[in-house]
Structure 1
Amino acid sequence: MKAVQLDKNQKFVYTDVEEAKVGSKDVRIKVFAAGICGSDTHKIATGWKYDLPAIMGHEFSGEIIEVGSEVTKYSIGDRVVGMPLLPCHECEYCERGLYGMCENYKMIGTHFGGAFAENLVIPERNVLPIGDMSYEDAAMIEPLAVAMHSVMNVGVEIGDTAVVLGTGTIGLFTIKTLLLAGAKYVIAVDINNDKIEAAKDNGAMYGINSLEEDLQARVMEITNGLGADIVMECAGSKITQEQALLLAKKRGKVGYTGIAYSDVLMHEKPFENIFRRELTVKGFWNSYSAPFPGKEWTNLIDFINQGRIKLDGMVTHRYPLSGVADAFDMILSRKESYNKVMIFPQEGVK
């Protein structure tokens, strides 16, 4: 099959590779859409730390074209989305249904061949049917589930006010799920005006460019001097990771989804806010719950098919499989403003 491999020189090569074998409880998926994740970009920018050559891609959807001898839930021709996490299902955390905390997990697109290929092999338990939604929409369920996981667990109450710091893909999806969970309005914060406008298009009532306005003063103005009930940090910046603690009201909730890419050193005031304002501070990793893969995934499939979550306009750039290197070059060089970047391994299918 055709695939894009990251070679020993950490360069993307469009080439022929041998297909993985299908085990008795596996299915082979013909990949129709695969998204590029922010973590993929970081791994390339900082140097791939896993075995090479590698086939990346962990946000994907497609059609089942082969099933193992013990597969019972799926048939050839089924349209599905894939869950990339491969928990061991045996450690203490897996037994408690905390699959994202698995001590022995593997990942499709990291430890095993990923979705930047014409097809891939994955366990039967790691797929779900997608109904009539497009393959492109289905390939966004994985990052949507990351946002849904954080919103489900931060403790949103109907009528809450919320701030989202960072309006990339995860930030936009967090806005959508906060509103779905009952937030009265969302204040979107970024340093890119195009991304702020995208946040407004996706439901944010207010947008703040923190390079152009006093962020804390503006949030306090909008919230009548109280601060926000919920603050979600989605930028992965040491600046916003500190700012989050300045924007929450007394007894407010602060959720961290953005990855820390450097040391986070905190000034006195934001740290004092944690205990003086009795803030609840939580971190969120991955997108899974019990029963595997969790309500994050199953709810999102229903919400998208019901039209309660709309993904129009989320994909800003589309590339064929042979264009993976060009896609990463565009992202890393910041030549253009972008949100979700999608790869299509099968010509003409979305």
Structure 2
Amino acid sequence: MKAVVLNEEQKFECKEVTDRKCASTDVRVEVYAAGICGSDIHKIQSGWRYPLPAVMGHEFSGVVVEIGQEVTNVAVGQSVVGIPLLPCHQCEYCQKGQFGMCIDYQMIGTHHYGAFAENVVLPAKNVLPIGEMDFEEAAMIEPLAVSLHGVMNLRPQIGDVAVVFGVGTIGLLTIQCLFLAGVKDIIAVDINDDKLAEAKALGCRYTVNSLVENLEERVFNYTDGVGADLALECAGSKITQEQCLLVTRKQGKVGYLGIAYSDVLLKERAFENIFRKELTLQGFWNSYSAPFPGKEWTNAIDFINQGRFKLNSLISHRYPLQQVKEAFEMILSRKESYNKVMILPKEVIANESCSENSSRLRQNAVSGTN
């Protein structure tokens, strides 16, 4: 098969690689759409720390083209989403259904060849049918499950006011999850006006560009001097990771979804707020619960198929498989404003809508053509 390989020189190369064999409990998925995750960018910037050569890509969807002899949960020809976490299923956390806490987990796209390829082999328990969903939307189930994991466990109350820091893909998905959970008003915070406009289009009542506006003044003004009931950090910035503590009301909740890429050092006032305001702080890593992969994933599939999430508008760029290198270069150079960047291993018609493209690809999958 053709795959984009990250080799020993830390460079991408699109080339033919040997297909992995499909074991008795595995499935082979022909990849139709794969998203580039923010964590993928960090892994490249900070230096790849996983086995090489590697094939990245852990947000993906496609069609089952082969199943092992023991597989019963999916059939050849079904459209599915891939679940990248490979928990050991043996440790004490896995036994409790806390798969995200597994002490010996691996991941598709880091430890094992991922979805920046024509196909990927993974355990049958790591795919879920998606029905007639668009393949590109289905490739966003993984980040949506991350947002759902945070919101479901933070337990917002109907009528709450929330602040969301960082309105990239995870932030915009988190905004939609909060509205679905009954949050009344959301204040979106970012330093990019284009992203704030997207948040406004999704229904955020207020937006704050914290680069040019006084964040605390704005938030307390919007909340009648009380502060927000909830603050969710989705930017992975040490600045916003502290700011969450400054705009939350007494006995409010702070949820951290963004990854800390450097030391987070708190000023005295921010730290004092934790105990003087009796704030509840909670971190959220990944997107899993019991039974595996969890309600985050099954809810995401159901809600997307019900039309309760807007996903197409979050996709800003699409690249064919052979241009993965160019996609990463665009992101790393920041020459263009981007949101979710999709890699499409299958043939794509220029300017075709997500829905049209998925419909055509699905018909081709059934007929066995490209």
TM-score range, shorter chain: over 0.9
Aligned position for 1:342: 342
Alignment of 1:121-160 (within 5 A): 121-160=121-160
Query: How many angstroms does 1:335 deviate by?
Result: 0.6
Provide Cα deviations, 1:91-131, integer angstroms capped at 9, x if missing partner. 00001111000001000000000000000001010110101
Aligned position for 1:173: 173
TM-score normalized by structure 2? 0.94
1:14 aligns with 2:6: no
Distance in 2, matches of 1:102 and 1:124, equals 19
AA matched with 1:241:
Q
Aligned position for 1:229: 229
Query: How many angstroms does 1:312 deviate by?
Result: 2.6
Provide Cα deviations, 1:250-270, integer angstroms capped at 9, x if missing partner. 010000011111111100101
Aligned position for 1:68: 68
1:109 aligns with 2:109: yes
AA matched with 1:208:
V
Aligned position for 1:2: 2
AA matched with 1:319:
Y
Provide Cα deviations, 1:259-286, integer angstroms capped at 9, x if missing partner. 1111111001010001100100000000
Aligned position for 2:364: none
Distance in 2, matches of 1:205 and 1:129, equals 35
Query: How many angstroms does 1:19 deviate by?
Result: 0.4
Distance in 2, matches of 1:202 and 1:329, equals 29
For the residue of structure 2 that corresponds to 1:52, the secondary structure is coil
Query: How many angstroms does 1:223 deviate by?
Result: 0.4
Query: How many angstroms does 1:167 deviate by?
Result: 0.6
For the residue of structure 1 that corresponds to 2:212, the secondary structure is coil
1:35 aligns with 2:35: yes
Query: How many angstroms does 1:198 deviate by?
Result: 1.1
Query: How many angstroms does 1:185 deviate by?
Result: 1.2
Distance in 1, matches of 2:23 and 2:220, equals 57
Distance in 2, matches of 1:204 and 1:176, equals 9
Distance in 2, matches of 1:336 and 1:205, equals 27
Query: How many angstroms does 1:205 deviate by?
Result: 1.4
Aligned position for 1:282: 282
TM-score normalized by structure 1? 0.99
AA matched with 1:260:
A
Distance in 1, matches of 2:185 and 2:80, equals 33
Aligned position for 1:259: 259
AA matched with 1:335:
K
Distance in 1, matches of 2:98 and 2:323, equals 37
Query: How many angstroms does 1:212 deviate by?
Result: 1.2
Unaligned runs of 5+ in 1: none
Provide Cα deviations, 1:274-303, integer angstroms capped at 9, x if missing partner. 110010000000000001110000011010
For the residue of structure 1 that corresponds to 2:270, the secondary structure is helix
Provide Cα deviations, 1:62-82, integer angstroms capped at 9, x if missing partner. 000000010011111000001
Aligned position for 1:207: 207
1:85 aligns with 2:85: yes
For the residue of structure 1 that corresponds to 2:30, the secondary structure is strand
Aligned position for 2:119: 119
Distance in 2, matches of 1:344 and 1:232, equals 31
Aligned position for 2:216: 216
What RMSD, in angstroms, separates the aligned Cα atoms of the two structures?
0.7
Distance in 2, matches of 1:202 and 1:290, equals 30
Aligned position for 2:193: 193
Query: How many angstroms does 1:203 deviate by?
Result: 2.3
AA matched with 2:85:
L
Query: How many angstroms does 1:157 deviate by?
Result: 0.6
Aligned position for 1:319: 319
Aligned position for 1:332: 332
For the residue of structure 1 that corresponds to 2:312, the secondary structure is coil
AA matched with 1:122:
L
Q: Which moved more, 1:199-208 or 1:328-337?
A: 199-208
Q: Percent identity?
A: 65
Distance in 2, matches of 1:134 and 1:236, equals 29
Q: How many residues get paired?
A: 350
Distance in 2, matches of 1:203 and 1:83, equals 30
Distance in 1, matches of 2:220 and 2:307, equals 34
For the residue of structure 2 that corresponds to 1:313, the secondary structure is helix
Q: Which moved more, 1:88-97 or 1:195-204?
A: 195-204
Aligned position for 1:242: 242
Query: How many angstroms does 1:51 deviate by?
Result: 1.1
Provide Cα deviations, 1:192-222, integer angstroms capped at 9, x if missing partner. 1011111112221111000111000100000
Aligned position for 2:351: none
Unaligned runs of 5+ in 2: 349-356, 359-370
Provide Cα deviations, 1:19-43, integer angstroms capped at 9, x if missing partner. 0110100000000000000000000
Distance in 2, matches of 1:244 and 1:183, equals 17
AA matched with 1:133:
M
For the residue of structure 2 that corresponds to 1:323, the secondary structure is helix
